[in-house]
Amino acid sequence: MLDIGPIHRTEYELGEDRSEPVCIAEAPGRIHFMGEHGENGAGLFLSSAVDRTIRVSVSVRKDNSIRFFAADLGERKRTTLVNLKYKREDRWANYIKLAIHVFAELGYPVKGLNFTVSGNIPQQIGLASSTAIEVAAAAALKGYYKAAIQEKELIRRLVKAQADFFGKESSPVDYLVAFSARKNHFLVVDELNLEVKRIKSPLSRYRFLLTDSRVPRLGVEEELKQRRLDTRKGLEILSRKREGASFREFASGDLLDSMGSFPEEIRRRSLHVVEELRRVNETAEALKKAEYGEISRIVYSSHESLRDLYEVSCPEIDWLVKRAQETEGTLGSRMTGMGFGGCTYTILKENAEKEYRRRLEDYERIFGFHPLVHEIRLAAGARLVPDEA
């Protein structure tokens, strides 16, 4: 990744005659290994940060202009505090503006600011690159102003700013991962209680590969909206519309006993949500005990549930998972992300990678898309980066 300290100084002509310090922060992308497509607002996730990051640098200007430079793209944007609002054409800069909005509301002396952003998180494959920009910008501003704000309060304000800026509700989960992650650790993230538990990875002898199916995704939001409505109806049936009820209150057996009156689609969606909650907890225990066979069983079971019950997979993704499963030395493979295309993750031994990649050669011939494979590692969370200038 680019060293943006010198680039920042060159872009904004900060030299020895200028005293403005440059504060640089870095935030990671993230992957959900399990728990996506759960209960909205009360999910339970098995996640980690990944070793692909966004860096944001900030310095103060002498005027009231706020300027942004994307070093990788060579793009420049600008605004002022008075005009600090979402603009579609500002694309990546909107996520930095969101962080500025948070610190302005906190009462910090936000006037003229320079920002430079650079990163190596692959785009549009579900690694939360936009959240990484927000978190890196927020961490840089926090470091610059030496703000004493606690992480949970900062996350709360970032979630609120999402609603203010983009007009939509957002989950705190990606922020929790970005701030809480540790190198070589899995995270169990509880969206309901905003709690994070870390589990030291027992998979040091395995590699993590993210395979992008390259399948175009059309109409995904509408499909996912319908599934969320189905699960909400399922919870209403189970809880008899009791306010504040959650799927966590219902064990799998209870659901099976109660679903005779369920419409079939609602039954399938609800069953996936309840069983996925159980799988997250079971995988956490298996990781703690290094029970590799159990980890493998649960990962494949989770993919089958996404395919058959929640129905967000597709033939291309299922093919990738099947080929991984057939490769000797593979611990597990599963879709990750919104579904209907997107990516799989595969956990396999180092000596199995060559064979796995060889099997992918048939994918383009069969489906017409060229898959992209990214190796990822479980990484640390957001941090300040020393400015070596």
Between 13-17, 215-219, 381-385, the lowest mean confidence (pLDDT) is in: 13-17
CA distance 235 to 241: 8
pLDDT of residue 16: 54
CA distance 124 to 126: 6
* DSSP sequence for 125-162: SSS-HHHHHHHHHHHHHHHHHT----HHHHHHHHHHHH
Q: From 123, 143, 133, 156, select the one nearest 68 (Cα to Cα).
A: 133
pLDDT of residue 14: 75
Mean pLDDT of 276-301: 97
* pLDDT band (50, 70, 90) for residue 241: low
Mean pLDDT of the chain: 92
Whether residue 236 is found in the same domain as residue 358 = yes
Signed CA dihedral, 288, 294, 299, 303: sign only: negative
Query: Do you know the residue count of the chain?
Result: 389
CA distance 273 to 124: 25
Number of domains into which the chain is organized: 2
* 383 HSE (CA, 13 A, CB side): 12
Cα distance from N-terminal residue to C-terminal residue, the chain: 17
Whether residue 117 is found in the same domain as residue 233 = no
* pLDDT band (50, 70, 90) for residue 17: very low
* pLDDT band (50, 70, 90) for residue 123: confident
Whether residue 180 is found in the same domain as residue 252 = no
* pLDDT band (50, 70, 90) for residue 67: very high
Whether residue 161 is found in the same domain as residue 280 = no
Whether residue 264 is found in the same domain as residue 217 = yes
Q: Which range marks the domain in which residue 146 is found? A: 4-200+379-385
Annotated catalytic residues are 174
CATH of the domain at 249: 3.30.70.890
Whether residue 225 is found in the same domain as residue 196 = no
Whether residue 228 is found in the same domain as residue 192 = no
pLDDT, one tens digit per residue, over 252-268 is: 555 666 666 788 899 99
CA distance 210 to 373: 6
Residues near 117 by beta carbon (within 8 Å), at least 6 away in sequence: 4, 54, 55, 56, 57, 68, 69, 70, 71, 92, 96, 133, 136, 137
CA distance 56 to 135: 9
| 194 Rama class: left (phi>0) / alpha (psi -120 to 50) / beta | left
pLDDT, one tens digit per residue, over 26-64 is: 999 999 999 999 988 899 999 999 999 999 999 999 899
pLDDT of residue 272: 94
Whether residue 186 is found in the same domain as residue 215 = no
* DSSP sequence for 18-32: -----EEEEEEEEEE
- The pair of structure tokens assigned to 355 is 């064979």
Whether residue 194 is found in the same domain as residue 216 = no
Whether residue 94 is found in the same domain as residue 194 = yes
- The pair of structure tokens assigned to 138 is 């927020």
Whether residue 128 is found in the same domain as residue 235 = no
CATH of the domain at 121: 3.30.230.10
pLDDT of residue 138: 98
Whether residue 152 is found in the same domain as residue 247 = no
Q: Give exposure, 345-374, as e/b (b: 16+ Cβ within 10 Å).
A: bbbbeeebbeebeebbeebeeebeeebeeb
